[in-house]
Amino acid sequence: MVDVIHQYRVRYCVEVEDVVEHALDEVGITVNKNTVPGDPQSPFVTSGIRIGTPAMTTRGMKEVHMVQIANWISDIILSPDDESLRSRVSKEVKELTVQFPLYPELG
């Protein structure tokens, strides 16, 4: 679980969880909004995201790929409205995932 939302919310006074989740989804990175243990916010206010690393390892991705994905997530979180960034990251995500098909036996 990653607490990525608090500073952004304080800085921009928005419910950014939806913005981040949507922006990441648009580039092909699926995350789920989630509460962060010890967060002073109400449990009904999600301030973190859950990243499904088992889905990545099942496809055969290794640590080096996780680092790249983490960098993409960080870039999108810092600039969720940057269309050129989202376009670039989307292209790079597709290039990575094509190397690790979900069901290679069906290919």
Query: Which residues does 33 contact at the CB level (< 8 Å), separation at least 6?
Result: 17, 18, 21, 46, 48, 49, 50
Q: Does residue 3 carry a pLDDT above 60?
A: no
pLDDT value of residue 78: 86
pLDDT value of residue 106: 77
What would the 3-class secondary structure string for 41-90 be?
A: CCCCCCCEEEECHHHHHHCCCCHHHHHHHHHHHHHHHHCCCCHHHHHHHH
In angstroms, the CA 37 to CA 51 distance is 15
What is the mean predicted confidence (pLDDT) over 27-43? 81
pLDDT value of residue 19: 80
* Pairing of the two strands 31-34 and 48-51: antiparallel
Instruction: Check the CA dihedral 57-63-67-70 and report its sign.
Output: positive
Query: Which residues does 105 contact at the CB level (< 8 Å), separation at least 6?
Result: none
